Amino acid sequence: MKNLYILVLSALILGYTTAYAQMPNDAIYMPKGVVCVGTMYTHSSWKEYWENTLKRENLNIGTHTTQSVMVMPAIGITNRFNVILSLPYVWTKTSAGNLMGQKGFQDLGGWLKVKAVDWKGFSLNGLVGISLPVSKYVPDFLPMSIGLQCRTASGRVLANYTHPKTGIYVTAHGTYMWRSNISVDRDAYQADDKVYNTNEVRVPNAYDMGARVGILKKQWQTEIWAERNSCVNGDNIRRNDMPFPTNNMQATMVGWYGKFQPKALGVNARIGYVTNGLNMGQSTSYTVGVLYMFGVKK
Amino acid sequence: MKPYSTFIKYSTALLTLAVIVIACNKDLEEPQRVGYTPVAVDEKAGTWKTYVLASSDEIEVAAPLAVTSSEYTAELSALKGLASNLSQEQKEAVVYWGAGAAYRWNEIARELCARYNIPPASNAEGKYPLPDAANPLADPKFPFANPPYASRALAYLSVAQYDALVSAWHYKYKYKRSAPSKVDTSIPVALPVSALPAYPSEDAVVAAASVTILKAMFPGEVPYLDAKMKEHLASRQWAGMNVTSDLTAGTSLGNAVAAKVMGKARNDGMGASNNQTLVAAMIESAKTRGIKDPWISQEAPLRPPMLPNFGAVQTWNFDKATMVKIRPAIPYVVGSAEWQKDMDELKQIQNKQTREQARIANYWADGAGSYTPPGHWHRAAANAAHEARFSEVRMARTLALVGTAEMDAGIACWDAKYFYYTPRPQQFGLKTSVGLPNFPSYTSGHSTFSAAAATVLGYLFPEQAAKFDAQALEASVSRIYGLIHYRVDCEMGLKHGEVIGEYAIARGKADGSGL
């Protein structure tokens, strides 16, 4: 009952699970005055999930599916300073049971990305991100909710080495994300075995780590990646209960990413698979996108 | 490199700002409840009519030692030591329990209801194992504190508190032993001291009565409840409010009264409430009444209906003949024009549920993992009584009147549900935005619980009657917005609940309190 989280992580944390080029998780920069707009469709589904540590299926959910379309412009302010924005529209459904699917615009995200050190193929990059909900979607009807309603602020350090001749690269990053408390429609709820008599819910902060290996050429890119996303604390889903925004959600994911962009127009694709987790679904996801690059007159 | 170190500086500043403005403050603002001097001490409460005790002196409480005795003097000096130099933790315990004994134990009981309110998972054989009272912490945990269970647990809790306090008030004014700080003014007190005699301690009475009931209702929580009671009693000494003999006498009285109340509980029919062998005959009977499409569980695997025989449990404020007499009339049958109209309304909401409809559905959902609708209304009652600065015994009377009305509402509603055995809208393809309860549709439990509670609360707090009625109406319609009830379920449930509430009011008017 909780896969939503794959989605939540992907959009709340902006690019956690979406490893596109000119993304918050690579060392690629749009040159000054160039904008690349990616429009991506993502399909993520799970049949089994981790209820606390218990891996199970749920016949009253069947397969849970989250889909989204996200528009994501990356803007070259300078050759070493980019701004990346994103806004996803998300919808959820299940193949069994009677939980009503939810849909809507989720959270508007923005990253500032700076290449701080650039030395013989090695670069060190700093990123600062924020995200803000743009609609009043319900955050605690999990796993059907499309997001958690948190406002977030993230700091990320990303290191990359690209072999200048072959284009072979290695990237590693680490992120810490602060998440705001949220308000829910009810004025009492249970978390940590305690009833809180308020509509305010504490959502745990989160961190992630990622590593990628690939080849980057002028017109194409291919990469394999692994990521670990985790809350820093939180409670667990109780036996046979629904998930809740206070849950300590964790996932380890592996996947592949590729891009082909001969000219202004390009395409990208990504697949991801959760190998291990806590309080969330074991999802398989794929993304396909169209990239369009254009110059902006100064 | 220079320009980029500038960028880094700005980025760091921006991140710091973003964290501070956007996400940093993790504190939760929960309303804090503190102690007060009650508007009246209700010195005649020892004469109020009890629920289970034959009279307020049915349980014997021995006369206390005279305040002039050397033993009492020794107790006073011990108290003086305990009430001095409090640690921060002790001070917090004093404030917490000082908000009110019945108030806190009601809150604790609601928390236990929430913790245990999860339906059992199906096992590998596709069956739903029954919770086992003898092994309460195994999976599935005992109890499954669903709405009927919660209504009953909270009713017996409130009745035990009330009967024990009426008895305590009788002895308080029989023996008239003053509060320790009135005997010895040098005793430091941390809470308001009223004119109420201190022996036996009302806090000890409530703690002991509550723990006795809650241990029976939540047998997996014995260590937790023992620890809470220990802290509660100790807090009365840290606050300088009770000498040891006040507490000891109160504990004995509370235990004895609650044992009598549990004696009644054990024979009220709850043990047979989940008798699934009755279901086939119930369905056949419903068919003879014209129900062509009886309810079918919408869960996979099919889950047996929740407590099909809860309607046979003993009621508080009216007898079984009355329950049959006030049972709601048969609802619109599937396929009729009226049924179709209700169904069309639901379909329209499913297509275009507004955010406000979702909010109302969510606010009142009180589903799995919550303290259930009876818990919701106990909370409303406890808060209203706290804000009105009711004495301990009047607080307990409030909760007992509301609590018995809620249990009666649960019993009578369950009786109607299994008498008619009608299908949920989900049986005809609708989804839900709140989760679907696993029992027949008509009448709406939320509507019945809410109208019963709001009716009683309107009698207890007349100036707030309109507010409570509006809340009950919203709770009722929330089940339409959540797509799990037809309008007729809700409207008839509201009417039924109101009648049920009136029986509790009649009891309240005749209990000798003059309130």
Cβ proximity of A131 and A105 under 8 Å: no
Q: Is B111 in contact with A194 (Cβ distance < 8 A)? A: yes
pLDDT score of B20: 72
Q: Is A100 in contact with B432 (Cβ distance < 8 A)? A: yes
Q: Which residue of B has its CA nearest to A198?
A: B30
pLDDT score of B4: 59
pLDDT score of B129: 97
pLDDT in tens, B70-110: 999 999 999 999 999 999 999 999 999 999 999 999 999 99
Q: Is A184 in contact with B370 (Cβ distance < 8 A)? A: no
Which amino acid appears at position A84 of this protein?
I
Counting as low any pLDDT under 50, the low residues of chain A are 1-21
Counting as low any pLDDT under 50, the low residues of chain B are 1
Task: Measure in Å the smallest separation between the Cα of B385 and chain A Cα atoms.
Answer: 17
- A-to-B residue pairs, Cβ atoms closer than 8 angstroms: 153
Cβ proximity of A20 and A72 under 8 Å: yes
Q: Is B299 in contact with A241 (Cβ distance < 8 A)? A: no
Q: Which two tokens stand for residue A14?
A: 């902006």
* pTM attached to this predicted model: 0.95
Q: Which residue of B has its CA nearest to A150?
A: B23
pLDDT score of A8: 40
pLDDT score of A17: 33
A chain contacts of residue B23, beta-carbon cutoff 8 Å: 150-153, 178-180, 205
Q: Is there a shared CATH topology between the B45-60+75-266 domain and the B275-509 domain? A: yes
Q: Which residues pair with A118 in a beta bridge?
A: A123
Residue spans of the domains in chain B: they are 45-60+75-266, 275-509
pLDDT score of A18: 32
pLDDT in tens, B177-193: 999 999 999 999 999 99
B chain contacts of residue A202, beta-carbon cutoff 8 Å: 26, 28
Interstrand relation of A194-196 and A189-191 (parallel, antiparallel or unpaired): antiparallel
Q: Which residues contact A60 (CB under 8 A, 6 or more apart)?
A: A96, A97, A98, A99, B299, B300
The label of the residue with tokens 């809410």 reads B450
Cβ proximity of B478 and B447 under 8 Å: no
Which is nearest to A116 in space by CA: B15, B1, B12? Answer: B1
Q: Which residue of A has its CA nearest to B27?
A: A202
DSSP B157-188: HHHHHHHHHHHHHHHHHHH-PPPHHHH-TTS-
Q: Which residue of A has its CA nearest to B33?
A: A197
Q: Is B370 in contact with A189 (Cβ distance < 8 A)? A: yes
pLDDT score of B485: 98
Question: 3.30.2320.80, 3.90.79.10, 2.40.160.40, 2.60.120.560: which CATH number matches A4-295?
Answer: 2.40.160.40
pLDDT in tens, A123-138: 999 999 999 999 999 9
Q: Is A116 in contact with B8 (Cβ distance < 8 A)? A: yes
Helix B445-460 to helix B392-420 angle, to the nearest 10 degrees? 150
The label of the residue with tokens 């024990």 reads B164
Task: Measure in Å the smallest separation between the Cα of B330 and chain A Cα atoms.
Answer: 27
CATH of domain B275-509: 1.10.606.20
Interface test with A, best of B1, B4, B386 (most A CBs within 10 A): B4
Query: What b/e readout covers A212-249, taking b as 16+ CB neighbours within 10 angstroms?
Result: bebebeeebbebebebebbbeebbbbbebbbbbbbbbb
Q: What topology does CATH give the domain B45-60+75-266? A: Vanadium-containing Chloroperoxidase; domain 2 (1.10.606)
Q: Is B140 in contact with A240 (Cβ distance < 8 A)? A: yes
Give the separation between CA A285 and CA B344, rounded to whole angstroms: 37
Give the separation between CA B444 and CA B412, rounded to whole angstroms: 11
Q: Is A130 in contact with B18 (Cβ distance < 8 A)? A: yes
Residue spans of the domains in chain A: they are 4-295
A chain contacts of residue B373, beta-carbon cutoff 8 Å: none
C-alpha B196 chain-centroid distance? 27
* Of the partner residues B1, B369, B430, the one whose CB lies closest to the CB of residue A241: B369
Q: Which residue of B has its CA nearest to A119?
A: B1
Q: Which two tokens stand for residue B468?
A: 């409570």
pLDDT score of A2: 39
Q: Is A116 in contact with B7 (Cβ distance < 8 A)? A: yes
Question: Could you give the residue ranges of the DSSP H alpha helices within chain A?
Answer: 4-12
Percent of chain B with pLDDT over 70: 97
Task: Measure in Å the smallest separation between the Cα of B203 and chain A Cα atoms.
Answer: 23
Q: Is A196 in contact with B300 (Cβ distance < 8 A)? A: no
* Of the partner residues A60, A136, A190, the one whose CB lies closest to the CB of residue B300: A60
Query: What b/e readout covers B171-182, taking b as 16+ CB neighbours within 10 angstroms?
Result: bbbebebebbbe
∠ CA B275-B281-B284 to the nearest 5 degrees?
145
Give the separation between CA A272 and CA A291, rounded to whole angstroms: 20
